[in-house]
Amino acid sequence: MKLSQLLAGINVLDANVNMDMEITSVVYDSRKVTPGSLFVAITGFATDGNKYIPMALQSGAVAVVTAQPQAEEVPYVQVDSDRLALALIGANFYGHPAKAMKLIGVTGTNGKTTTTLLLKHVLEQVLGAKVGLMGTMENMIGDQVIPTERTTPESFDLQALLAQMRDAGCGYAIMEVSSHAIALDRVAGLHYEVAAFTNLTEDHLDFHKTMEAYCDTKAELFRRCNKAVANTDDAWFERMTQNATCQMLTTSVKGNADLQAEDLELKSDGISFVAVSGKERVPVELPIPGKFTVYNALSVLGCAMQLGISLSDACGALKTAKGVKGRVEVVPTPGKDYTVLIDYAHTPDGLENVLTSVKGYCRGRLIAVFGCGGDRDPVKRPIMGKIGVDIADHAIITSDNPRTEDPGKIIQDILKGVNSSKNNYEIIENRVKAIHQAMDIARKNDIIVLAGKGHETYQEICGVKHHLDEREVVAAYLKENNG
């Protein structure tokens, strides 16, 4: 493809290269450069791609796209935004694959993964459609699973994945849209048929600095879509939707919305409610416990309705849905009279939601095992400490993914929010030992909640990922103790 074609729609400030040259590949990692490549130098947090321009040219790159001025001998194209340029180059390179599908984006602090997976199920069941999915747990093309590293891929990789979905015959693509993805232009150039907002609670303040900035970043999604679904019960609803330019469908559990949930029944093995839209009333059942599941279901139903699916058909499809891995997931404990649940709760709101929900139907004690991630928003650590110790009958504070931080330092941050006079908690830094301790002290009818890891099967310590699947930890300890 000619360089001029790749740069279509991009504001070029300066260039000293032949725009008619043929480009064989586009890369933003200098280690992947091959002869004929276009190298896009991205200014990142850990490093600056401009440092690697000499290496890229030595490896065979024929041109460089950068936001910084370059020496005359460098064959460069200077743009005003390197990240925006990468996104638009990706769309041009792959032939704007999103235009061949109906794109649905789900944003919010919690509930994105469950909402996207349930919506995929509804579209497949009702329409018989082939659906692509991009999310925290995995990427999927129909039934094919593709591992993922982050909630929303880097823009060029995202376009490549959308192209795979298009080529595989997907009529719909559903994606979790993180605030980072919007702020860093990973989703630049994409326009959504439907966008949905689940909720907004404290998270990522290390990046956004304030909740207002966090909200305003996510709100950008409602100016990039035709239709939207938004939760009016959330405290940030008004700010989130005030500048929306799309057709809005509102949802609520409290009432006064386009789509409401009434007659809620929260059980240990799931939820049921009546979905109400105008004069239409349709029963809903889902095998995922917790009031938050009701909100996620409303988001799914709202998206389905915005896509032209009847409320009755959408509710019918939800009845056949299964639980989501790592979201209030029951771990088998054969021969034991206590229950172990795994949940991805890693924010204050997420932890409060799952512990409050479980507390509502727990007939014994609630034992919470939780920590906080390293290299992430430290503000939420004492908040989560207070929530975990206040709600649980017994809390074990441990490590999550410390990443490059000292696990002990993270735990000390968590403890700042804990009332020191309480005697219902203990500290076990090693997460495996913490799980073992929870199982050792569990009695009949107790419920253990392992919070924070969810679907993840690793723990990142000192920047290195170590295998850690909590399901395997529980099974191995039961086997060891049962001889």
**Domain architecture of the chain: domains with CATH:** 3-93 (3.40.1390.10), 97-318 (3.40.1190.10), 329-481 (3.90.190.20)
The closest of 349, 249, 235 to 291, measured between CA atoms, is 349
Distances from the Cα of 118 to the Cα of 112, 122, 252, 284, 286, angstroms: 10, 6, 18, 13, 10
| Res. 127: pLDDT tops 70 | yes
pLDDT more than 90, % of the chain: 86
How far apart, in Å, are the Cα atoms of 17 and each of 12, 44, 61? 12, 25, 12
| CA distance to 60, 63, 94, 156, 342, per residue, from 190 (Å) | 31, 26, 13, 12, 34
**Which of the four pLDDT bands, split at 50, 70 and 90, describes residue 323?**
confident
Q: Look at residue 20 and tell me whether its pLDDT is greater than 90.
A: yes
pLDDT-derived band of residue 203, with 50, 70 and 90 as boundaries?
low
pLDDT in tens, 327-353: 889 899 999 999 999 999 999 988 998
Please give the Cα distance from 84 to 393 (Å, whole number): 49
- Are residues 334 and 478 in contact, defined by beta-carbon separation less than 8 angstroms? yes
pLDDT of residue 47: 81
pLDDT digit string, tens, across residues 238-255: 999 999 999 999 999 998
> pLDDT tier at 151 (50, 70, 90 boundaries)?
low
Radius of gyration of the chain (CA): 24
Highest mean pLDDT: which range of 208-217, 373-382, 410-419? 410-419
Q: In what helix (H) or strand (E) does residue 171 lie, and over which residues does it extend?
A: none
Confidence of residue 23 (pLDDT cuts 50, 70, 90): very high
| 385-389 average pLDDT score | 98
State how far the Cα of 151 lies from the Cα of 54, in Å rounded to an integer.
Answer: 31
Residue 305 amino acid letter: M
Kindly state the average pLDDT of the residues 47-62. Answer: 95
Q: What is the mean pLDDT of residues 281-299?
A: 94
Confidence of residue 152 (pLDDT cuts 50, 70, 90): confident
Instruction: Point out the least confidently predicted range of 135-149, 362-376, 417-431, 467-481.
Output: 135-149
In this predicted structure, what is the pLDDT of residue 150?
63
Q: Which residue has the higher pLDDT, 46 or 156?
A: 156
Q: What pLDDT does residue 202 have?
A: 64
* pLDDT of 149 higher than 90: no
pLDDT (average), residues 129-139: 92
In the prediction, which pLDDT does 205 show? 67
pLDDT of residue 208: 64
Ramachandran bin of 68, using left for φ above 0, alpha for ψ from -120 to 50, beta for the remaining angles: beta
DSSP classification of residue 30: G
Q: What is the mean pLDDT of the chain?
A: 94
84-118 per-position pLDDT tens digit: 999 999 999 999 999 999 999 999 988 999 999 99
* Counts for the chain of helices (H) and strands (E), in that order: 16, 24
Determine contact, residues 435/474, Cβ cutoff 8 Å: yes
* Ramachandran area for residue 335 (φ above 0: left; ψ -120 to 50: alpha; else beta): left
pLDDT at residue 134 tops 80: yes
Give the integer Cα–Cα distance in Å for 195 and 177.
9
Question: pLDDT tier at 483 (50, 70, 90 boundaries)?
Answer: low
Query: Is the per-residue pLDDT at 207 higher than 80?
Result: no
Edge to edge, the sheet with strand 37-40 lists 12-15, 76-79, 63-66, 37-40, 25-27
Residues 79, 80, 83: CA angle, nearest 5 degrees: 85
pTM of the model: 0.86
For residue 201, what pLDDT is reported?
A: 83
**pLDDT score recorded for residue 375:** 92
